[in-house]
Chain A
Amino acid sequence: MSPHSSAPDQTGQDRTIHQPIRPARHPGRWVAIAFVVLLVAMFVNTLITNPRFEWPVVAQYFTSGTILLGVQRTLELTAIAMLSGVGLGVVLAVMRLSPNPVLSSASWLFVWFFRGSPLLVQLLLWYNLSALFPDISLGIPFTGVEFIKIDANVLITPYLAALLGLGLNEAAYSAEIIRAGIISIDHGQTEAAQSIGMSRGRLLRRVVLPQAMRVIIPPLGNDTINMLKMSALVSIIAVPELLFAAQTIYSRTFETIPLLLVAVIWYLIVVSVLSAIQYYIERYYARGASRNLPLTPLQALRKFFGIRFGARPSTAR
Chain B
Amino acid sequence: MSVESKETSPRIMVQATGVRKSFGPLEVLKGIDLALPHGEVMCLLGQSGSGKSTFLRCINHLERIDFGRIRVDGDLIGYNEKNGYLREMHEHEIARQRIHIGMVFQHFNLFPHMTALQNVIEGPIGVKREKRDEVRERAVAILERVGLADKLDAYPRQLSGGQQQRVAIARALAMRPKLILFDEPTSALDPELVSDVLDVMRDLAESGMTMIVVTHEIAFAREVADRVVFMADGEIVEQGRPGEVLGNPKHPQTQAFLAKVLV
Residues of A within 8 A of B (CB): 186, 188-189, 191-200, 202, 206-207, 210-211, 285, 287-291
B155 touches A198 (CB 8 A): no
B interface with A by C-beta (< 8 Å): 60, 62, 91-92, 95-99, 101-103, 105, 107, 109-115, 122-123, 126-128, 155-158, 168, 171-172, 175
Query: Chain A residues near B113 (CB, 8 Å)?
Result: 210-211, 285, 287-289
Contact of A189 among B62, B98, B109 (CB under 8 A): B109
Most buried by A among B95, B107, B157: B95
Known: A202-B126, A206-B122, A291-B158. A195 touches B101 (CB 8 A): yes
CB distance from B247 to the nearest CB of A (A): 34
Q: Report 6 cross-chain contacts, Cβ distance below 8 Å, ordered by A residue.
A: A186-B109, A196-B102, A197-B96, A198-B127, A206-B111, A288-B156
- Pairwise interchain contact B98-A197, C-beta atoms closer than 8 A: yes
Once A196-B122, A206-B122 are accepted as A-B contacts, the answer to whether A188 and B107 lie under 8 Å apart by CB is yes
A195 with B127: in contact, given A188-B105, A288-B114 (CB under 8 Å)? no
Q: Check B114–A194 contact: CB distance below 8 A.
A: no
Choose one: B112, B115, B175; the contact of A197 (CB below 8 Å). Answer: B175
Establish whether residues A192 and B109, one from each chain, have CB atoms under 8 Å apart when the complex forms.
Answer: yes
Query: How far does the Cβ of A215 sit from chain B's closest Cβ, in whole Å?
Result: 13
Kindly state the separation between the CA atoms of A193 and B123 in the bound complex, as whole angstroms: 8
- B102 in contact with A199 (CB, 8 Å): no
Are A191 and B105 in contact, with the CB atoms below 8 A? yes
Cα–Cα distance between A207 and B155 once the two chains are bound (Å): 14
Q: What residue of chain B has the Cβ atom nearest to residue A186's Cβ?
A: B109
Q: Say whether B110 contacts A196, CB under 8 Å.
A: no
Closest to B158 in A: A291
Q: Are A188 and B122 touching (Cβ within 8 A)?
A: no
Chain B residues positioned under 8 Å from A196 (CB to CB): 98-99, 102, 122-123, 127, 171-172, 175
CB neighbours of B99 from chain A (8 A): 196-197
Residue B157 contacts which of A191, A207, A291 (CB distance < 8 angstroms)?
Answer: A291
Bound: A194/B92 CA distance, A? 10
Across-interface contacts of B105 in A (CB, < 8 A): 188, 191-192
Contacts of B128 in A (CB 8 A): 197
CB-CB under 8 A from A186, the residues of chain B are: 109
Identify the closest chain A residue to B102 (Cβ). A195
Chain B residues in 8 Å Cβ range of A291: 157-158
Nearest-neighbour CB distance to chain B for A290, whole angstroms, equals 7
Asked if residues B103 and A195 are in contact (CB atoms below 8 Å), the reply is yes
CA distance A206 to B121 in the complex (A): 13
**Which residue on A lies nearest to B101, using beta carbons?**
A195
Q: Which residues of B contact A191 (CB under 8 A)?
A: 62, 103, 105, 109
A191 to B92, CA, bound (A): 15
Closest to A293 in B: B155
**Considering the chains assembled together, what is the distance between the CA atoms of A311 and B171 in angstroms?**
43
A6 to B214, CA, bound (A): 65
Once the chains are docked, how many angstroms separate the CA of A198 from the CA of B62? 13
Give A202 to B111 CA distance when docked, in angstroms.
Answer: 13
Which B residues touch A188, using CB under 8 A? Answer: 105, 107, 109
Other A-B contacts than A194-B62, A196-B98, 6 sampled, CB-CB below 8 A, are A191-B105, A192-B110, A196-B171, A199-B92, A206-B111, A291-B157
